Amino acid sequence: MIKPSVLCDFVDYVESFYGDGGIYDHELGFHVTRERIWSATSAHLMSLTAEGSDFEGDTVDREMVRDVMIEQHKEEVRL
């Protein structure tokens, strides 16, 4: 089981890249909110559980959450 504090830190980490003022805040083509990050993180964790994989909270997980957000919000992407 992943500690809630670890997940909160991970959401902060993802937000620092894709949220308002983040390194890539305009790269995804839609507004990234904490709620969207939490939703994508939840979906990512379910996928990892189904695969029998571990959550590390690292760059790989961050990029996987980014990809989930893109898939979840692809209708909003501004090209």
The pLDDT tens digits for 20-70 are 999 998 888 899 999 999 999 999 999 999 999 999 999 999 999 999 999
What is the residue whose two structure tokens read 């501004």? Answer: 78
pLDDT for the residue numbered 76? 74
- Measuring CA to CA, how many Å separate 39 from each of 19, 48, 69? 14, 14, 8
Q: Which positions ≥6 away from 20 have C-beta within 8 Å?
A: 31, 32
What is the residue whose two structure tokens read 């990234």? Answer: 32
- Global pTM value: 0.91
Q: How many Cα atoms sit within 13 Å of 68 on the Cβ side?
A: 20
